[in-house]
Structure 1
């Protein structure tokens, strides 16, 4: 265990070419983001948009912001729970700081990969431990999708007349495939593990730790339900602040 409290070792230093490439990619992302923002601003009536916001309900916006902040805090907690089984023993506050830094890159740079790279590196502390840290992020997103699908099923069942039949059938099919595949992933992945040499050399208890000790994953799944509930409440509050009949 290194001083950062994770299972990785190594200097994590980048070569000269890698450093140049990293900054070049970052500069390109910034240029694309600024260009996209400028394009949107030229295609919208800024005065009308500002007037709409000025006439909206301030209390509902404050409530929406509160729900969004709570959802992000719970998301950080969820990721922290998933980090611990893999040996990333970090204070929850530090994980929250890393998460917010990654969120900044995800929101203001094209794509979500940049934010994941930032979070992975700062949690791992070295590129050698980065794959393990990235796996926890993948698990976090997968569990988040599991919670979202459950809410989609509940929402469609409660308001099924408002949606076309194919949409309800699609959500039902996704749940019928996603949850069993997630639960039985260790068994389903046996052929893949036999074919891929790098995966074959990784001890099974490192690959399937969430299945061998499912309590952290179950806790994370429960927290994902809270996250999505907060997001729904935030969007309802924003809609009401703009006068929508929600």
Structure 2
């Protein structure tokens, strides 16, 4: 009953956010706006019809009623702002395809990272099987609340048939996810630490984002280090606390599944290094798709926005983070001097390709899998 109510609440949050995005953040009309120097908000705007290739200098904008006609080049304080559907219709294919290729590279590296973590705890598996289970997880990510829900399915299925090391196999998925999010925030943290509020076009609130990102990174380094350190566990009473928790047998098994990585620094280091590379591919993929739609955000700006938005979207607030990512990208794009409409359009295109598209491929993998044909109850497997 509680689970159903929570799911309904999450769907409600997604519906409200999506309604807010499409009702208030998106501009559907093509416009030419006048933005005085030193300001971000327009002082005047013309609504009309945009014709031609607006990515190049081959377009004509006719204001409603034919009162004004604009052609390139525009005056310095004038900006062309295509509407939402004009942006989608005019998307450039080459940068979009390159972004798609980079996302494919990311998926290949994600599978390799998980395989490294599995083998580190004595759970040998082939790359093909790890890739198959990853795609099954992507499928469940789009039909269950939160971006990490598919990880539960992946964790349950990878333990199926194992006599030993089931907890370690299960926890490898959690460690894989944590390392992925940590490396994503590392990229944002590096840009914010060295560039900070001096990033081109930085909004006033970027300083707050900088403090929170660096704080989370510090906690993500210190807390696991304390938990894994034998000396710190004794001094801080962690061992005593674990013995006081209920379900002692399960707690001990899970504790062993986590602390085993203390003895595998090479595997953890390899997973972290691989994560930085694959997350860089993810940021570049998003940036290229934004470029395909006409966004002029710089790479440092995207290296800040993308990790923060993806991290928040991974929280189980709404199914697959729908509405959450769109709202936040709209705020970041507008904050960096672009438009909320471009932020939402980029988020939607990126989501349709990297989440829905990949998830549907995962659905095909799931339908053809032996687990589906054998009607495996993955929820029961997870509880076991």
User: Could you tell me the TM-score, scaled by structure 2's length?
Assistant: 0.49
Considering only CA atoms, is the larger Rg found in Structure 1 or Structure 2? 2
CA contact 1:193–1:199 (8 Å) conserved in 2: no
- Pairs within 5 Å for 1:66-215: 66-112=101-147, 114-126=149-161, 131-160=167-196, 161-162=198-199, 163=202, 164-187=206-229, 188=233, 189-196=238-245, 197-198=248-249, 201-202=252-253, 206-215=257-266
The structure whose residues are more often strand, as a share, is 2
Cα distance in 2 for partners of 1:215, 1:67 equals 26
Q: Extract unaligned runs of 5+ from structure 1.
A: 1-20
Note the aligned Cα RMSD (angstroms).
Answer: 3.4
Report the Cα offset of residue 225 of structure 1.
Answer: 0.1
Q: Extract unaligned runs of 5+ from structure 2.
A: 29-82, 299-384
Number of residue pairs matched by the alignment: 217
Give the structure, 1 or 2, with the largest relative contact order (CA under 8 Å, sep 6 or more). 1
Cα distance in 1 for partners of 2:256, 2:152 equals 25
Cα distance in 1 for partners of 2:148, 2:207 equals 34
SS at match of 2:137: helix
SS at match of 1:56: coil
Report the Cα offset of residue 54 of structure 1.
Answer: 2.9
Cα distance in 2 for partners of 1:112, 1:130 equals 23
Distance 1:55 1:127, change over 3 A: same
Cα distance in 2 for partners of 1:95, 1:114 equals 17
User: Could you tell me the TM-score, scaled by structure 1's length?
Assistant: 0.74
Report the Cα offset of residue 85 of structure 1.
Answer: 2.3
CA contact 1:120–1:130 (8 Å) conserved in 2: no
Cα distance in 1 for partners of 2:94, 2:108 equals 21
Distance 1:51 1:126, change over 3 A: farther
SS at match of 2:123: coil
